[in-house]
Amino acid sequence: MYLFLAFLMVPIIEIALFIQVGGAIGLWLTLAIVVLTAVLGTWLVRTQGRLALGQLRSSFEQLNDPTEPLAHGAMILVSGALLLTPGFFTDAVGFALLVPQVRMAVYRYLRSKMTIARFQMGPGSMHTRSYPGDNSSKGQGDVIDGEYQDVSQERSRKGPSGWVDGPQ
């Protein structure tokens, strides 16, 4: 229902704003503002996107929860789409989403509306990462217990890549 209202109301708001602004400042200046906001918005989205990507990489490297950087990246992506859409209302919302404090407020609001059933990272989870000399995982240090099978001879017989079954 909310999505239907958004698709109905946003074009109506944009048309009304174009009529009002165009009547106040003229057609050519109105069109120049729309093009200028698209160019400026593209530049801002690129710079903010690089920062968000750096935060996401840092989160992965430090094995932190990547939810917040991913949410910021998604909001920057939505911001870029809104800024490339011609209109004053979509530009205002797009520029607002480029402000980190606004994104943080939106993130907190959305997080308060969601319930996470389970999130686990680190020792004991399915995907763990250990470093040489890291004694935190089960107190075994650098010892890795596992089994292996030499498949180099089998791979050469199977097919062109060795990973797929080819003609025998």
> Is 157 a domain residue?
no
> Is 93 a domain residue?
yes
pLDDT for 118 beyond 70: no
pLDDT for 141 beyond 90: no
The pLDDT value given to residue 123: 60
pLDDT for 128 beyond 50: no
153 vs 56, more confident: 56
Please, are residues 91 and 40 in contact by the beta-carbon 8 Å criterion?
no
> Is 42 a domain residue?
yes
> Is 14 a domain residue?
yes
pLDDT in tens, 77-115: 999 889 888 889 999 999 999 999 999 999 999 888 887
Residue with tokens 């890549």: 161
> Is 86 a domain residue?
yes
> Is 137 a domain residue?
no
The pLDDT value given to residue 91: 92
Structurally, the chain folds into a number of domains equal to 1
Question: What domain range includes position 73?
Answer: 9-114
> Is 122 a domain residue?
no
> Is 26 a domain residue?
yes
pLDDT in tens, 13-31: 999 999 999 999 999 999 9
Residue 157 identity: R
CB half-sphere exposure, 109, CA atoms < 13 A: 6
The pLDDT value given to residue 24: 93
Using only C-alpha atoms, what is the Rg of the chain?
Answer: 26
